[in-house]
Chain A
Amino acid sequence: MAAGAPMGAGTSSHIYEGNAPRLMAPSWIFIGFFLLAPVIMMAVYSFLTKEFRGGVIWEFSLAAYDQFFFDRGLFGDEPPSIEWTYIGIFWRSIWQAGLATFVCLLIGFPTAWFIATRDPQSRSIWLFLVTIPYWVNLLIRTVSMKFLIRDTGPLNEFLLQVGVIGEPLGLINTNFAVQLGLFYSYLPFMVLPIYAAVERYDFALSEAAADLYSGAWTTLRLIILPVVKPGIIAGCILVFVPSLGAFLAPDLLGGAKTFMIGSLIEEQFKGNAGNWPFGAAASMILLTIVLCILLVYARNQNKTEIR
């Protein structure tokens, strides 16, 4: 394949040593000024006193974090105990997003693989085939998905007519529907990065594995997956993190019966509650969790760079 050069996952190189500041500058300027600054402001907000119905009062307060972690009863007069409400919401969201990521990986990897192994001309066609649906707005996609799977929708009607099922499947407002929605929302975020990594995979490695008595699936597990790992990890991050904050799929397909992180935080800014410091605090906690996960990933990546 690629004229001989050993391809290493996570090898670090120094070609542009010293150019890092210049190369990073646009990112720093854009994200630093237009996002980091606002986020720092939010971080500050999380330590301020809430103003009723939105906004903040410039007075230091730990009330938001207190509210997140400690339960003082409905009327605030019981001795503090651990507040499980928000932790529960976070945990459920993480679980939900994790499952969605897993499903996307399970379906997305074969798809990306299949596309990357087409001949070069048709690859981009397949790639576009996967992304074309995303020219239609997420909301419309989700609503049409809802239309499709509802008890009186085409899917159930078809299955009923064919006689596969005796009564509607009852998919709508279930966790399955939420998963389907998340899958539908974020699939390309898994497929594209994996595609980009697989496209470079050196099939001589598969040959070597096959030569050493490894069947196709063993080769997949022991050689291919580890070698294209950077793409898989990128895909997982791109599906997991947005799924955490997703609210359209849970709302429209799952019936909005429980808060997800996204809707909980949104409620603090756009809902009745209007508790900005609490929304900010919840966001900072979420940010910290995701940041930790990401830094563990970055750390692992650095470990593989020996030079």
Chain B
Amino acid sequence: MASVTDLRRFPGFLAITLTCLVVLYAPLIVVAVYSFNASTSITNWGGFSLTWYVDVFTGPDAPKFQRAAINSLIIAVCAAVAATSIATAAAVAMTRAGRFKGKTLSFALINLPLMVPEVVTAVASLVFFSAIGFTTGLLTILVAHIVFCIPFAYLPISARMQSIPDTYEQAAMDLYATPRQAFTMVLLPLMTPGILSGFLLAFIISLDDFLITNFVKGAGVETLPTAIFGSVKQGIKPNIMAISTLMLGVSIVFVSLSWLIGRTGQNKK
């Protein structure tokens, strides 16, 4: 919407955003560029080559990394979906159910995963899980991820929900919507940005986790972080750069696709 002075614009915000993106992307550009390096070492440029991409698919470590990448994506998607759903329900309770017994306690509980140091979560979970005989590999990872993703999904979602007045839901219920319908048909659409934010945070936090995963995972089960962990600190290997670049590629394809789908969906309306 054009106006004499656009009240939405602040001088410098664009510059900050762009700086921000430069800082975020500069290291990744290094990764992407060096993934095409013919040499084994990151320090010297040995010419352009696709060796490392070939290596990702056919090299000796290929099956391990492929499985790890698939595991990571599956777990991240499942954990983010589950955590977002759980967090949304919790946010509704915290912002839309008035006062109830144990509300403050619930608030603390939801944020507990955030507050416990990662290594403590890791050790405690492992001790606890093995004590109760819960050691099935992927599932243990998933459960642990869901747990620590909840606050990351909850905080943006509840922040958003607080700023939506409940008159919309009241209007919906007045028009014979059950509370569930008022939720799905009115609150949820208004919540979209919050839920998207929560989902994305949960997703990337799950995709990134090393420590907890490493402790609770079953023997031989790998996620991308556990698969690449030690070797990275020594200086990233070109094949890992290639994998990372591929992950970036996948994410970009994924985002572009969802954008295109969203656009065609909108055009139809």
**Touch test A–B (CB under 8 Å):** yes
- A162 proximity list for chain B (CB < 8 A): none
Complex Cα distance A131/B251, Å?
A: 9
Which one of A9, A42, A121, A295 has the greatest number of beta carbons of chain B within 10 Å? A42
- B159 proximity list for chain A (CB < 8 A): 193, 196-197, 230-231, 233-234
Knowing A14-B97, A110-B10, A140-B232, say if A34 contacts B125 (CB, 8 Å).
yes
CB-based contact A287/B7 at 8 Å: no
CB-based contact A110/B13 at 8 Å: yes
CB-based contact B115/A107 at 8 Å: no
Q: Does B219 have its Cβ within 8 Å of any Cβ on chain A?
A: no
Complex Cα distance A137/B233, Å?
A: 12
CB-based contact B228/A265 at 8 Å: no
8 Å CB contacts to B: which residues of A170-214? 180, 183-184, 187-189, 192-193, 195-197, 199-201, 203, 206-207, 210
Knowing A14-B96, A148-B26, A197-B160, say if A7 contacts B210 (CB, 8 Å).
no
CB-based contact A124/B97 at 8 Å: no
CB-based contact B263/A147 at 8 Å: no
- A138 proximity list for chain B (CB < 8 A): 208, 210, 225
Q: Does A21 have its Cβ within 8 Å of any Cβ on chain B?
A: yes
Complex Cα distance A228/B156, Å?
A: 12
B209-241 Cβ-contact flags toward A at 8 Å (1 or 0):
010000000000000110011001101100011
Task: Give the residue of A32, A134, A262 whose beta carbon is less than 8 angstroms from that of B119.
Answer: A262
CB-based contact B93/A32 at 8 Å: no
Q: Does B247 have its Cβ within 8 Å of any Cβ on chain A?
A: yes
Min distance, Cβ A245 to any Cβ of chain B, angstroms: 5
Task: Give the residue of A5, A30, A38, A283 whose beta carbon is less than 8 angstroms from that of B125.
Answer: A38
Q: Does B175 have its Cβ within 8 Å of any Cβ on chain A?
A: no
Q: Does A168 have its Cβ within 8 Å of any Cβ on chain B?
A: no
Min distance, Cβ A49 to any Cβ of chain B, angstroms: 16
Q: Does B21 have its Cβ within 8 Å of any Cβ on chain A?
A: yes
CB-based contact A136/B23 at 8 Å: no
Q: Does A114 have its Cβ within 8 Å of any Cβ on chain B?
A: yes
Complex Cα distance A206/B151, Å?
A: 31
CB-based contact B156/A231 at 8 Å: yes
Q: Does B54 have its Cβ within 8 Å of any Cβ on chain A?
A: no
CB-based contact B262/A16 at 8 Å: no
Which one of B124, B190, B233 has the greatest number of beta carbons of chain A within 10 Å? B124
* Interface size range on B against A: 35 or more
Knowing A110-B17, A113-B10, A237-B114, say if A27 contacts B200 (CB, 8 Å).
no
Min distance, Cβ A166 to any Cβ of chain B, angstroms: 23
Knowing A121-B263, A130-B21, A269-B123, say if A231 contacts B160 (CB, 8 Å).
yes
* Interface size range on A against B: 35 or more
What is the predominant secondary structure among interface residues of chain B facing chain A?
helix
- A290 proximity list for chain B (CB < 8 A): 114-115
Knowing A110-B17, A144-B236, A216-B7, say if A35 contacts B116 (CB, 8 Å).
yes
Which one of A30, A129, A131, A136 has the greatest number of beta carbons of chain B within 10 Å? A136
Q: Does B244 have its Cβ within 8 Å of any Cβ on chain A?
A: yes
Complex Cα distance A219/B5, Å?
A: 14
Min distance, Cβ A236 to any Cβ of chain B, angstroms: 10
8 Å CB contacts to A: which residues of B44-103? 85-87, 89-90, 92-93, 95-100, 102-103
Complex Cα distance A138/B258, Å?
A: 24
Knowing A7-B165, A270-B119, say if A183 contacts B23 (CB, 8 Å).
yes
CB-based contact A210/B7 at 8 Å: yes
CB-based contact B166/A13 at 8 Å: yes
Complex Cα distance A131/B162, Å?
A: 24
Min distance, Cβ A24 to any Cβ of chain B, angstroms: 5
CB nearest neighbor in B for A244: B117
CB nearest neighbor in B for A205: B7
Complex Cα distance A135/B208, Å?
A: 8
Task: Give the residue of B108, B109, B201, B241 whose beta carbon is less than 8 angstroms from that of A238.
Answer: B201
Task: Give the residue of A9, A210, A241 whose beta carbon is less than 8 angstroms from that of B163.
Answer: A9
Knowing A140-B228, A188-B200, say if A21 contacts B20 (CB, 8 Å).
no
B11-48 Cβ-contact flags toward A at 8 Å (1 or 0):
11110110111011111101100000000001000000
CB-based contact A242/B114 at 8 Å: yes
CB nearest neighbor in B for A290: B115
Q: Does B188 have its Cβ within 8 Å of any Cβ on chain A?
A: no
CB-based contact B233/A139 at 8 Å: yes
Q: Does A127 have its Cβ within 8 Å of any Cβ on chain B?
A: yes
CB-based contact B97/A18 at 8 Å: yes
Knowing A15-B169, A42-B124, A129-B21, say if A28 contacts B106 (CB, 8 Å).
yes
CB-based contact A38/B24 at 8 Å: no
CB-based contact A220/B10 at 8 Å: yes
CB-based contact B266/A140 at 8 Å: no
CB-based contact A140/B21 at 8 Å: no
Min distance, Cβ A283 to any Cβ of chain B, angstroms: 4
- B197 proximity list for chain A (CB < 8 A): 127, 192-193, 195-196
CB-based contact B266/A121 at 8 Å: yes
Which one of B159, B196, B251 has the greatest number of beta carbons of chain A within 10 Å? B159
- A20 proximity list for chain B (CB < 8 A): 93, 97, 100, 103
Give the 6 A-B residue pairs with the shortest CB-CB distance, closest first.
A38-B124, A144-B27, A13-B166, A192-B197, A234-B155, A23-B93
